[in-house]
Amino acid sequence: MNLSLEGKAFGELPSGEEIKIFTLSLADKISLSVINYGATWTHLFLPDANGKIQDVLLGFDTLEGFIHEEYQKNYCYIGSTVGRVAGRATDNKFILDGKTYLLPPNQGNTHLHGGVEGWDKKVWNYQTEESQTAIAVHFSYTSPDGEENYPGKINIKVSYKLDLTGKLSISYQATSNRKTVLNPTNHFYINLSGDFTKTIEGHTFQVNADKFLPMNDNSLPTGELKPVEETVFDFRNPKTLNSTIESDDEQVKIAGGIDHCFVLNKEGEQAILIDPFSKRRLRLYTTSPGLQVYTSNYLSGAFKGKRDIAFPKRSAICLETQFFPDSHNQAHFPSIVLDKGEVFDSSTSFIFDCIA
């Protein structure tokens, strides 16, 4: 099978900046498209068990969709790279070396996913790479000191790579010129059925995690690393998502579904997602300590995307590999502090296939 990498114009921002789309493909096995606006995933075409190829990512076919006001005000971050710090921060602040950094709110009174002009809204530089065994698009961005009131100038590179086996990888490398905090992730929304009018509640999910992070009424971790045993968040053996979503568990009520970080075990596959109808399967491996699982509880049909579909509630799941949310305010969580000159390095890989 042959690898191919193509790039072309995707549109222009109101500022006049041209946005490009790149498509990484392996014959009829897998095809991923990404744009340099937000280093965003736009399309992922996969065959089902019968060979039918469908796009499984929520999103838009045009740049206008990603910058439309109706979409932007819903804070969905579909397919985008989010940063500097994914998630929320207690009281919209953190303390580093005795100094308090106040973070600007962007979702009501909450600072979310990097702030008002996070990395999802930036135009990234790009470079492509091709060999006999793999192809890649490397996006890079320099975040200036003080951007969204975070300290330090960060040079960040996000790479999307596809190899001859069909393995798809995300990697992050970053450095800062002064001590700071960093916790990026990708916020892709996936529905393995390829039918965005249907929910993902019937998908089977498994995660290699003995603990998860309960959250408070402000969607912030309470600080507890709670064992999943004897809770509805026990996905150590595969079960349908609706078995948790439809429960009367207090944590499910707070989130309106699942919107929780799982504390990943290090060995083996960290997560498996299966659509029982198309038989498509996703297997996930990551160096990150956490997996934020979000069942698109706040999609509401407020905007239209691909195929002119107004994406309904729970029409996708997000699998965000990252450090724990609010780690800059929780001393016992794995640290997201990045020292001057230190290299941040994180990677996540996906293998897509079909079950028998």
DSSP secondary structure of 177-239: SS-EE-B-EE---B-TTS-TTS-STTSEEEE-EEEEE-B-TTS-B-S--EE-TTSTT--SS-E
**Is 225 a residue whose pLDDT tops 80?**
yes
**Is 168 a residue whose pLDDT tops 80?**
yes
Residue 262 belongs to a domain with what CATH number?
Answer: 2.70.98.10
**Is 75 a residue whose pLDDT tops 90?**
no
Report residue 74's pLDDT band, with 50, 70 and 90 as the boundaries.
Answer: confident
DSSP 64: H
Summarize the confidence of residues 176-192 as an average pLDDT. 98
Summarize the confidence of residues 293-300 as an average pLDDT. 96
CA distance 317 to 320: 10
**Is 73 a residue whose pLDDT tops 90?**
no
Summarize the confidence of residues 226-244 as an average pLDDT. 98
Kindly give the residue spans of alpha helices, DSSP state H, lying in the chain: 63-67, 69-72, 242-245, 250-255
CA distance 105 to 177: 25
**Is 348 a residue whose pLDDT tops 90?**
yes
Annotated catalytic residue within 43, 187, 203, 328: 187
Annotated catalytic residue within 111, 203, 260, 320: 320
Summarize the confidence of residues 330-335 as an average pLDDT. 97
Expressed as residue numbers, the domain containing 294 is 3-354
**Number of structural domains in the chain:** 1
If phi > 0 it is left, if psi is from -120 to 50 it is alpha, else beta; for residue 10 that is alpha
The distance of Cα 57 from the centroid of its chain, to the nearest Å, equals: 12
Lowest average pLDDT, out of 70-79, 305-314, 316-325, goes to 70-79
Asked about 320 being catalytic, the answer comes back as yes
Q: Are 2 and 27 in contact (CB under 8 A)?
A: yes
Percent of the chain with pLDDT over 70: 100
CA distance 348 to 231: 27
pLDDT digits (tens, 9 = 90+) for 153-165: 999 999 999 999 9
Collapse the DSSP code of 336 into the 3-class scheme (helix H, G, I; strand E, B; otherwise coil) and give the result: coil
Q: Is the dihedral of CA 117, 118, 122, 125 positive or negative?
A: positive
**Is 139 a residue whose pLDDT tops 90?**
yes
The four Cα atoms 321, 274, 160, 19 give a dihedral, to 10 degrees, of -100
Report residue 266's pLDDT band, with 50, 70 and 90 as the boundaries.
Answer: confident
Q: Are 329 and 94 in contact (CB under 8 A)?
A: yes
Global pTM value: 0.96
Summarize the confidence of residues 56-85 as an average pLDDT. 93
**Is 322 a residue whose pLDDT tops 80?**
yes
Instruction: Write down the mean pLDDT value for the chain.
Output: 96
Confidence at residue 60, expressed as pLDDT on a 0 to 100 scale: 97
Summarize the confidence of residues 227-238 as an average pLDDT. 98
Query: Which two structure tokens, joined as six digits, stand for 185?
Result: 């992730």
